[in-house]
Structure 1
Amino acid sequence: MKLNYGNKEFIMHPSGCLFWPSKNALLIADVHFGKVDHFRKNGSALPSQVGLENFRKLNQVLEEFQLEEVIFLGDLFHSTQNNDWDRFTAWVNLQDVKMTLIVGNHDIIPPYRFEDLGLKVVSELVNGDLFLTHHPEKREGFFNICGHLHPGYRLRGEGRQQLKLSCFYKKSHQLVLPAFGAFTGHFLIEPKEDEDVFVVSEELVLSIR
Protein backbone atom coordinates (compact mmCIF):
# COMPACT_ATOMS: atom_id res chain seq x y z
CA MET A 1 0.00 0.00 0.00
CA LYS A 2 1.30 3.45 -0.94
CA LEU A 3 1.72 6.25 1.55
CA ASN A 4 2.45 9.85 0.61
CA TYR A 5 3.88 12.71 2.63
CA GLY A 6 4.41 15.95 0.74
CA ASN A 7 6.23 15.00 -2.44
CA LYS A 8 7.61 11.79 -0.92
CA GLU A 9 6.11 8.39 -1.66
CA PHE A 10 6.56 5.22 0.37
CA ILE A 11 5.27 1.68 0.03
CA MET A 12 4.20 -0.28 3.11
CA HIS A 13 5.15 -3.93 2.64
CA PRO A 14 3.43 -6.96 4.27
CA SER A 15 6.75 -7.91 5.90
CA GLY A 16 6.56 -4.72 7.96
CA CYS A 17 9.25 -2.95 5.91
CA LEU A 18 8.79 0.46 4.35
CA PHE A 19 10.14 0.96 0.82
CA TRP A 20 11.33 4.44 -0.17
CA PRO A 21 11.34 4.39 -4.00
CA SER A 22 13.10 7.72 -4.65
CA LYS A 23 16.03 6.61 -2.48
CA ASN A 24 15.75 2.95 -3.48
CA ALA A 25 15.98 2.22 0.24
CA LEU A 26 14.23 -0.13 2.63
CA LEU A 27 13.42 0.89 6.20
CA ILE A 28 13.26 -1.92 8.78
CA ALA A 29 12.51 -1.54 12.50
CA ASP A 30 13.11 -3.74 15.52
CA VAL A 31 14.60 -6.94 14.14
CA HIS A 32 15.90 -7.95 17.59
CA PHE A 33 18.49 -10.41 16.34
CA GLY A 34 19.68 -12.69 19.11
CA LYS A 35 16.51 -12.45 21.20
CA VAL A 36 15.67 -16.13 20.87
CA ASP A 37 19.22 -17.19 21.81
CA HIS A 38 19.12 -14.71 24.71
CA PHE A 39 15.96 -16.31 26.11
CA ARG A 40 17.23 -19.84 25.47
CA LYS A 41 20.41 -19.02 27.38
CA ASN A 42 18.25 -17.90 30.30
CA GLY A 43 16.23 -21.13 30.38
CA SER A 44 13.31 -20.55 28.00
CA ALA A 45 12.40 -23.63 25.94
CA LEU A 46 12.32 -22.00 22.52
CA PRO A 47 13.26 -23.76 19.27
CA SER A 48 16.42 -22.28 17.77
CA GLN A 49 14.73 -22.22 14.33
CA VAL A 50 12.60 -19.26 15.46
CA GLY A 51 15.69 -17.03 15.39
CA LEU A 52 16.47 -18.02 11.82
CA GLU A 53 13.11 -16.64 10.67
CA ASN A 54 14.51 -13.10 10.74
CA PHE A 55 17.20 -14.01 8.21
CA ARG A 56 14.65 -15.76 6.01
CA LYS A 57 12.43 -12.67 5.98
CA LEU A 58 15.35 -10.37 5.27
CA ASN A 59 16.50 -12.48 2.34
CA GLN A 60 12.95 -12.55 0.98
CA VAL A 61 12.45 -8.76 0.99
CA LEU A 62 15.92 -8.05 -0.36
CA GLU A 63 15.25 -10.40 -3.26
CA GLU A 64 11.98 -8.57 -4.00
CA PHE A 65 13.54 -5.09 -4.21
CA GLN A 66 16.64 -4.04 -6.11
CA LEU A 67 17.97 -1.86 -3.31
CA GLU A 68 20.78 0.61 -2.83
CA GLU A 69 20.41 0.87 0.94
CA VAL A 70 18.86 -0.80 3.98
CA ILE A 71 18.19 1.46 6.96
CA PHE A 72 17.59 -0.29 10.28
CA LEU A 73 15.51 1.89 12.62
CA GLY A 74 17.06 0.62 15.83
CA ASP A 75 17.00 -2.48 18.02
CA LEU A 76 18.78 -4.48 15.37
CA PHE A 77 20.12 -6.72 18.14
CA HIS A 78 18.29 -7.52 21.34
CA SER A 79 21.25 -7.56 23.74
CA THR A 80 24.89 -8.68 23.79
CA GLN A 81 26.57 -10.78 21.12
CA ASN A 82 25.53 -14.42 20.84
CA ASN A 83 25.22 -17.00 18.06
CA ASP A 84 23.17 -14.59 15.94
CA TRP A 85 26.14 -12.23 15.72
CA ASP A 86 28.11 -14.83 13.76
CA ARG A 87 25.08 -15.47 11.55
CA PHE A 88 24.62 -11.73 11.03
CA THR A 89 28.29 -11.29 10.13
CA ALA A 90 28.03 -14.04 7.52
CA TRP A 91 24.78 -12.56 6.19
CA VAL A 92 26.22 -9.03 5.86
CA ASN A 93 29.23 -10.38 3.98
CA LEU A 94 26.87 -11.78 1.34
CA GLN A 95 25.10 -8.47 0.72
CA ASP A 96 26.04 -5.75 -1.75
CA VAL A 97 23.85 -2.92 -0.45
CA LYS A 98 24.72 0.00 1.81
CA MET A 99 23.51 -0.50 5.40
CA THR A 100 22.81 2.07 8.10
CA LEU A 101 21.87 1.48 11.72
CA ILE A 102 19.99 4.15 13.67
CA VAL A 103 20.82 3.14 17.23
CA GLY A 104 17.98 1.94 19.46
CA ASN A 105 17.77 1.34 23.20
CA HIS A 106 18.57 -2.39 22.80
CA ASP A 107 21.62 -1.76 20.61
CA ILE A 108 24.26 -2.16 23.32
CA ILE A 109 26.82 -3.88 21.09
CA PRO A 110 29.61 -1.30 20.54
CA PRO A 111 29.11 0.71 17.32
CA TYR A 112 32.59 -0.18 16.07
CA ARG A 113 31.55 -3.83 15.78
CA PHE A 114 28.90 -2.82 13.23
CA GLU A 115 31.23 -0.33 11.55
CA ASP A 116 33.83 -3.08 11.14
CA LEU A 117 31.20 -4.94 9.08
CA GLY A 118 30.64 -1.87 6.89
CA LEU A 119 27.49 -0.50 8.52
CA LYS A 120 27.12 3.22 9.16
CA VAL A 121 25.96 3.88 12.74
CA VAL A 122 24.04 7.10 13.56
CA SER A 123 21.60 8.46 16.14
CA GLU A 124 19.14 9.74 13.50
CA LEU A 125 18.87 10.58 9.80
CA VAL A 126 17.41 13.77 8.32
CA ASN A 127 16.28 14.22 4.71
CA GLY A 128 14.56 17.54 4.05
CA ASP A 129 11.50 17.66 6.31
CA LEU A 130 11.74 13.95 7.06
CA PHE A 131 13.66 12.53 10.00
CA LEU A 132 14.23 8.91 10.91
CA THR A 133 14.71 7.76 14.50
CA HIS A 134 14.28 4.71 16.69
CA HIS A 135 12.08 6.24 19.39
CA PRO A 136 9.00 8.18 18.26
CA GLU A 137 9.81 11.89 18.32
CA LYS A 138 7.96 15.08 17.52
CA ARG A 139 9.80 17.95 15.86
CA GLU A 140 8.06 21.05 14.51
CA GLY A 141 7.90 21.05 10.71
CA PHE A 142 9.15 17.47 10.31
CA PHE A 143 7.60 14.08 9.61
CA ASN A 144 9.04 11.31 11.77
CA ILE A 145 9.46 7.66 10.72
CA CYS A 146 10.41 5.43 13.62
CA GLY A 147 10.03 2.07 15.36
CA HIS A 148 10.34 1.05 19.03
CA LEU A 149 6.63 0.61 19.85
CA HIS A 150 6.05 -2.75 18.08
CA PRO A 151 2.53 -1.57 17.18
CA GLY A 152 -0.28 -4.09 16.81
CA TYR A 153 -4.04 -3.98 16.35
CA ARG A 154 -6.78 -6.28 17.59
CA LEU A 155 -9.36 -7.18 14.94
CA ARG A 156 -12.73 -8.28 16.33
CA GLY A 157 -15.32 -10.36 14.50
CA GLU A 158 -19.07 -10.59 15.03
CA GLY A 159 -18.76 -13.95 16.79
CA ARG A 160 -16.25 -12.72 19.39
CA GLN A 161 -13.36 -13.82 17.20
CA GLN A 162 -10.19 -11.86 17.81
CA LEU A 163 -6.97 -11.62 15.87
CA LYS A 164 -3.90 -9.56 16.77
CA LEU A 165 -1.84 -8.33 13.82
CA SER A 166 1.23 -6.17 13.47
CA CYS A 167 0.54 -2.78 11.96
CA PHE A 168 1.87 0.51 10.65
CA TYR A 169 0.61 3.30 12.92
CA LYS A 170 0.20 6.70 11.24
CA LYS A 171 -0.32 10.06 12.89
CA SER A 172 -0.38 13.45 11.17
CA HIS A 173 3.33 13.96 11.89
CA GLN A 174 4.59 10.40 12.26
CA LEU A 175 4.65 6.83 10.99
CA VAL A 176 5.59 4.02 13.38
CA LEU A 177 6.74 0.82 11.68
CA PRO A 178 5.82 -2.64 12.96
CA ALA A 179 8.53 -4.76 14.50
CA PHE A 180 10.23 -6.88 11.85
CA GLY A 181 11.46 -9.52 14.29
CA ALA A 182 9.71 -12.86 14.60
CA PHE A 183 9.66 -12.92 18.41
CA THR A 184 8.81 -9.37 19.46
CA GLY A 185 5.18 -9.11 20.67
CA HIS A 186 2.76 -6.21 20.16
CA PHE A 187 1.81 -2.93 21.76
CA LEU A 188 -1.89 -2.70 20.92
CA ILE A 189 -2.96 0.57 19.29
CA GLU A 190 -6.29 2.34 19.78
CA PRO A 191 -6.16 5.02 17.07
CA LYS A 192 -7.81 8.42 17.42
CA GLU A 193 -10.11 9.78 14.71
CA ASP A 194 -7.29 11.58 12.90
CA GLU A 195 -4.96 8.57 13.01
CA ASP A 196 -4.80 5.46 10.87
CA VAL A 197 -3.68 1.88 11.35
CA PHE A 198 -2.55 -0.35 8.49
CA VAL A 199 -2.56 -4.01 9.53
CA VAL A 200 -0.20 -6.46 7.84
CA SER A 201 -0.87 -10.05 6.87
CA GLU A 202 1.32 -12.42 4.91
CA GLU A 203 0.34 -10.88 1.58
CA LEU A 204 -1.53 -7.61 2.22
CA VAL A 205 -1.40 -4.27 3.98
CA LEU A 206 -4.90 -2.97 4.77
CA SER A 207 -6.19 0.22 6.37
CA ILE A 208 -8.67 -0.45 9.17
CA ARG A 209 -10.69 2.47 7.82
Structure 2
Amino acid sequence: MTSGSVCTTLAGTEWQLFAARAAFCPAQDTLFVADPHLGKDATFRRHGFPVPLGSSGGTLQTISRLLVDTNASRLVILGDLFHARSSLTTETVAAVESFFAEHPSVEFLLVEGNHDAHVGNLPLEWPIRTVAEGERMGQLALSHHPGSVPDGAALLLCGHLHPAIRIGSGRESFGKLPCFWYSSGCLVFPAIGEFTGTHVVQPQNGDRTWLVADNEIIEL
Protein backbone atom coordinates (compact mmCIF):
# COMPACT_ATOMS: atom_id res chain seq x y z
CA MET A 1 0.00 0.00 0.00
CA THR A 2 1.07 3.57 -0.60
CA SER A 3 1.43 6.12 2.15
CA GLY A 4 -1.16 8.59 3.40
CA SER A 5 -2.96 11.18 1.35
CA VAL A 6 -5.17 14.24 1.64
CA CYS A 7 -7.90 15.52 -0.65
CA THR A 8 -8.15 19.18 -1.58
CA THR A 9 -9.53 21.50 -4.24
CA LEU A 10 -7.29 23.79 -6.29
CA ALA A 11 -8.63 26.18 -8.91
CA GLY A 12 -11.93 24.32 -8.96
CA THR A 13 -10.34 20.90 -9.49
CA GLU A 14 -10.30 18.08 -6.95
CA TRP A 15 -6.93 16.55 -6.07
CA GLN A 16 -5.58 13.73 -3.97
CA LEU A 17 -2.07 14.55 -2.74
CA PHE A 18 0.06 11.62 -1.61
CA ALA A 19 2.81 11.50 0.97
CA ALA A 20 4.59 9.40 -1.67
CA ARG A 21 5.08 12.77 -3.46
CA ALA A 22 2.53 12.36 -6.24
CA ALA A 23 -0.93 13.72 -6.97
CA PHE A 24 -4.02 12.21 -8.57
CA CYS A 25 -6.60 14.22 -10.49
CA PRO A 26 -9.86 12.23 -10.70
CA ALA A 27 -11.33 14.53 -13.37
CA GLN A 28 -8.43 13.63 -15.69
CA ASP A 29 -7.99 10.08 -14.35
CA THR A 30 -4.30 11.00 -14.23
CA LEU A 31 -1.45 10.50 -11.78
CA PHE A 32 1.15 13.29 -11.77
CA VAL A 33 4.75 13.05 -10.53
CA ALA A 34 7.84 15.20 -10.96
CA ASP A 35 11.60 14.72 -11.02
CA PRO A 36 12.24 10.96 -10.78
CA HIS A 37 15.88 11.53 -11.83
CA LEU A 38 16.22 7.83 -12.61
CA GLY A 39 19.76 6.53 -12.90
CA LYS A 40 21.26 9.36 -10.86
CA ASP A 41 22.88 6.78 -8.60
CA ALA A 42 24.50 5.11 -11.63
CA THR A 43 25.83 8.45 -12.87
CA PHE A 44 27.37 9.21 -9.48
CA ARG A 45 29.01 5.78 -9.27
CA ARG A 46 30.38 6.23 -12.78
CA HIS A 47 32.17 9.34 -11.54
CA GLY A 48 33.64 7.59 -8.52
CA PHE A 49 31.07 8.41 -5.82
CA PRO A 50 30.19 5.27 -3.80
CA VAL A 51 26.45 5.93 -3.49
CA PRO A 52 24.01 3.09 -2.63
CA LEU A 53 22.29 1.02 -5.30
CA GLY A 54 18.54 0.70 -5.70
CA SER A 55 17.14 4.22 -5.59
CA SER A 56 15.83 4.09 -9.18
CA GLY A 57 14.12 0.77 -8.56
CA GLY A 58 12.56 2.11 -5.39
CA THR A 59 11.24 5.18 -7.21
CA LEU A 60 9.68 3.05 -9.94
CA GLN A 61 8.10 0.75 -7.35
CA THR A 62 6.53 3.76 -5.63
CA ILE A 63 5.05 5.05 -8.90
CA SER A 64 3.85 1.56 -9.78
CA ARG A 65 2.02 1.21 -6.45
CA LEU A 66 0.38 4.60 -6.95
CA LEU A 67 -0.82 3.62 -10.41
CA VAL A 68 -2.37 0.47 -9.00
CA ASP A 69 -3.94 2.22 -5.99
CA THR A 70 -5.46 5.05 -8.04
CA ASN A 71 -6.23 2.91 -11.10
CA ALA A 72 -5.10 5.92 -13.17
CA SER A 73 -5.29 5.58 -16.93
CA ARG A 74 -2.49 8.11 -17.49
CA LEU A 75 0.83 9.01 -15.87
CA VAL A 76 2.27 12.48 -16.43
CA ILE A 77 5.90 13.06 -15.45
CA LEU A 78 6.55 16.78 -14.98
CA GLY A 79 10.13 16.67 -16.16
CA ASP A 80 13.52 15.07 -15.47
CA LEU A 81 12.70 11.41 -15.95
CA PHE A 82 16.44 10.61 -16.08
CA HIS A 83 19.29 12.48 -14.47
CA ALA A 84 21.79 12.33 -17.35
CA ARG A 85 22.59 10.42 -20.52
CA SER A 86 25.01 8.30 -18.50
CA SER A 87 22.09 7.31 -16.27
CA LEU A 88 20.70 5.00 -18.96
CA THR A 89 22.69 1.99 -17.83
CA THR A 90 21.67 -1.54 -18.75
CA GLU A 91 20.18 -2.03 -15.28
CA THR A 92 18.22 1.25 -15.31
CA VAL A 93 16.87 0.68 -18.82
CA ALA A 94 15.78 -2.84 -17.87
CA ALA A 95 13.98 -1.52 -14.78
CA VAL A 96 12.15 1.13 -16.82
CA GLU A 97 11.12 -1.35 -19.49
CA SER A 98 9.84 -3.73 -16.82
CA PHE A 99 7.85 -0.85 -15.32
CA PHE A 100 6.23 -0.08 -18.69
CA ALA A 101 5.40 -3.76 -19.16
CA GLU A 102 3.65 -3.88 -15.78
CA HIS A 103 1.21 -1.16 -16.89
CA PRO A 104 0.26 -1.91 -20.52
CA SER A 105 -2.99 0.05 -20.39
CA VAL A 106 -1.50 3.24 -18.97
CA GLU A 107 -0.72 6.25 -21.19
CA PHE A 108 2.69 7.74 -20.36
CA LEU A 109 3.49 11.42 -20.92
CA LEU A 110 6.77 13.21 -20.18
CA VAL A 111 7.01 17.00 -20.03
CA GLU A 112 10.55 17.81 -21.10
CA GLY A 113 12.70 19.15 -18.28
CA ASN A 114 16.20 20.59 -18.26
CA HIS A 115 17.79 17.19 -17.57
CA ASP A 116 15.65 15.52 -20.26
CA ALA A 117 17.03 17.95 -22.83
CA HIS A 118 20.55 16.67 -22.09
CA VAL A 119 19.47 13.02 -22.12
CA GLY A 120 18.10 13.32 -25.66
CA ASN A 121 15.58 11.13 -27.44
CA LEU A 122 14.27 8.11 -25.62
CA PRO A 123 14.01 4.71 -27.37
CA LEU A 124 11.25 4.79 -29.99
CA GLU A 125 9.83 1.49 -28.77
CA TRP A 126 9.09 2.91 -25.32
CA PRO A 127 5.37 3.70 -24.80
CA ILE A 128 5.97 7.26 -23.65
CA ARG A 129 5.32 10.55 -25.42
CA THR A 130 7.50 13.59 -24.76
CA VAL A 131 5.91 17.03 -24.97
CA ALA A 132 7.22 20.55 -24.53
CA GLU A 133 6.37 22.77 -21.60
CA GLY A 134 3.02 24.46 -22.10
CA GLU A 135 1.15 21.28 -23.02
CA ARG A 136 -2.49 21.60 -21.95
CA MET A 137 -4.81 19.04 -20.40
CA GLY A 138 -8.15 20.78 -20.18
CA GLN A 139 -7.60 23.75 -17.88
CA LEU A 140 -4.36 22.27 -16.56
CA ALA A 141 -1.10 23.61 -18.00
CA LEU A 142 1.86 21.24 -17.79
CA SER A 143 5.39 22.48 -17.22
CA HIS A 144 8.67 21.53 -15.62
CA HIS A 145 9.69 24.99 -14.49
CA PRO A 146 7.47 27.12 -12.24
CA GLY A 147 5.97 30.22 -13.83
CA SER A 148 2.81 32.17 -14.41
CA VAL A 149 -0.45 30.42 -15.23
CA PRO A 150 -0.95 30.69 -19.03
CA ASP A 151 -3.99 32.48 -20.42
CA GLY A 152 -7.01 30.21 -20.49
CA ALA A 153 -5.60 27.79 -17.90
CA ALA A 154 -6.71 27.52 -14.29
CA LEU A 155 -3.67 25.78 -12.83
CA LEU A 156 0.01 25.30 -13.72
CA LEU A 157 1.60 22.00 -12.66
CA CYS A 158 5.39 21.79 -12.41
CA GLY A 159 8.42 20.45 -10.57
CA HIS A 160 12.11 21.40 -10.93
CA LEU A 161 12.52 23.11 -7.55
CA HIS A 162 12.30 19.99 -5.35
CA PRO A 163 10.56 22.24 -2.76
CA ALA A 164 11.04 21.74 0.96
CA ILE A 165 10.18 23.52 4.20
CA ARG A 166 12.73 24.06 6.95
CA ILE A 167 11.42 22.90 10.30
CA GLY A 168 12.51 24.54 13.52
CA SER A 169 11.66 26.43 16.67
CA GLY A 170 13.21 29.79 17.33
CA ARG A 171 16.85 29.58 16.33
CA GLU A 172 16.91 25.79 16.42
CA SER A 173 16.52 23.97 13.09
CA PHE A 174 15.31 20.38 12.96
CA GLY A 175 16.11 19.97 9.27
CA LYS A 176 13.89 20.20 6.21
CA LEU A 177 11.11 18.14 4.70
CA PRO A 178 9.78 18.03 1.12
CA CYS A 179 6.46 19.67 0.35
CA PHE A 180 3.86 20.50 -2.23
CA TRP A 181 3.76 24.27 -2.71
CA TYR A 182 0.79 26.11 -4.22
CA SER A 183 1.35 29.77 -5.08
CA SER A 184 -0.51 32.10 -7.46
CA GLY A 185 -2.15 29.25 -9.37
CA CYS A 186 1.06 27.21 -9.64
CA LEU A 187 1.38 23.82 -7.90
CA VAL A 188 5.01 22.80 -7.46
CA PHE A 189 5.52 19.09 -6.82
CA PRO A 190 8.18 17.60 -4.55
CA ALA A 191 10.66 15.36 -6.33
CA ILE A 192 9.49 11.74 -6.32
CA GLY A 193 13.01 10.45 -6.94
CA GLU A 194 14.52 8.73 -3.91
CA PHE A 195 18.00 10.06 -4.69
CA THR A 196 17.31 13.78 -5.04
CA GLY A 197 18.07 16.89 -3.04
CA THR A 198 15.64 19.57 -1.92
CA HIS A 199 15.43 23.35 -2.10
CA VAL A 200 13.96 25.32 0.79
CA VAL A 201 11.13 27.62 -0.33
CA GLN A 202 9.64 30.61 1.43
CA PRO A 203 5.84 30.56 1.11
CA GLN A 204 4.10 33.94 1.18
CA ASN A 205 0.72 34.96 2.57
CA GLY A 206 -2.00 33.26 0.55
CA ASP A 207 0.19 30.32 -0.46
CA ARG A 208 -0.61 26.77 0.60
CA THR A 209 1.91 24.08 1.52
CA TRP A 210 1.57 20.39 2.34
CA LEU A 211 4.47 18.90 4.26
CA VAL A 212 5.57 15.31 3.56
CA ALA A 213 6.67 13.64 6.77
CA ASP A 214 7.31 9.89 6.64
CA ASN A 215 3.96 8.38 5.58
CA GLU A 216 1.89 11.45 6.37
CA ILE A 217 1.04 14.58 4.45
CA ILE A 218 0.09 17.65 6.49
CA GLU A 219 -1.15 21.04 5.32
CA LEU A 220 0.64 23.81 7.20
**TM-score computed with the length of structure 1 as normaliser:** 0.91
Determine the C-alpha separation between the residues in 2 that align with 1:52 and 1:120: 21
* Distance in structure 2 (CA, Å) of the matches to 1:65 and 1:153: 27
Are 2:172 and 1:167 equivalent residues in the alignment?
no
Match of 2:140 in 1: 130
Instruction: Give me the whole-angstrom Cα distance separating, in 2, the residues matched to 1:151 and 1:105.
Output: 17
- In structure 1, what is the Cα distance between the partners aligned to 2:55 and 2:42? 9
Deviation, 1:141, is 4.7
Question: What's 1:117 paired with?
Answer: 126
CA contact (8 A) 1:37 1:51 kept: no
Could you report, residue by residue, the CA deviation over 1:122-167 in whole angstroms, capped at 9, with x for unpaired residues?
A: 1132133320111112134532110010001111147935131110
Residue 177 of structure 1 corresponds to 189
For structure 2, the 5+ residue unaligned runs are 1-5
Shift of 1:196: 1.9
Q: Which amino acid aligns with 1:88?
A: V
C-alpha distance in structure 2 between counterparts of 1:15 and 1:98, whole Å: 20
Percent identical residues: 28
Q: Structure 1 residue 22 and structure 2 residue 27: aligned?
A: yes
The runs of at least 4 aligned residues of structure 1 exceeding 4 Å deviation read none
Letter aligned with residue 104 of structure 1: G
Preserved CA contact (<8 Å) 2:64 2:99:
no
Residue 103 of structure 1: aligned partner: 112
Which residue in the other structure is 1:52 paired with? 57
Q: Residue 88 of structure 1: which of 64, 89, 96 is its match?
A: 96
Distance 2:207 2:111 in 1: 25
The separation in 2 between residues aligned to 1:133 and 1:140, in whole angstroms, is: 14
Q: Do 2:166 and 2:173's aligned partners in 1 also have CA atoms closer than 8 Å?
A: no
Unaligned runs of 5+ residues in structure 1 are none
Q: How many residues align?
A: 207
Q: Which residue of 1 aligns with 2:210?
A: 198
Deviation string, structure 1 residues 154-203 (Cα, Å, up to 9, x no partner)? 11147935131110011022000000001111100111112122111232
How far, CA to CA, are the matches of 1:173 and 1:39 in structure 2?
36
The 8 Å contact of residues 153 and 189 in structure 1, kept in 2 or not, is answered as yes
How high is the TM-score relative to the length of structure 2? 0.87
Q: After the TM superposition, which of the residue ranges 67-76 and 115-124 deviates more from structure 2?
A: 115-124
CA RMSD of aligned residues (A): 1.8
1:156 pairs with 2:164: no
- Higher mean C-alpha deviation, range 35-44 or range 187-196: 187-196
For residues 15 and 209 of structure 2, what CA distance do their matches in structure 1 show?
A: 15
Deviates more, 1:23-32 or 1:116-125: 116-125
1:47-69 CA-to-partner distances (Å, cap 9, x unmatched) read 21233221221222223111101
Contact 2:212/2:218, CA 8 A, preserved across alignment: yes
**One-letter amino acid matched to 1:134:** H
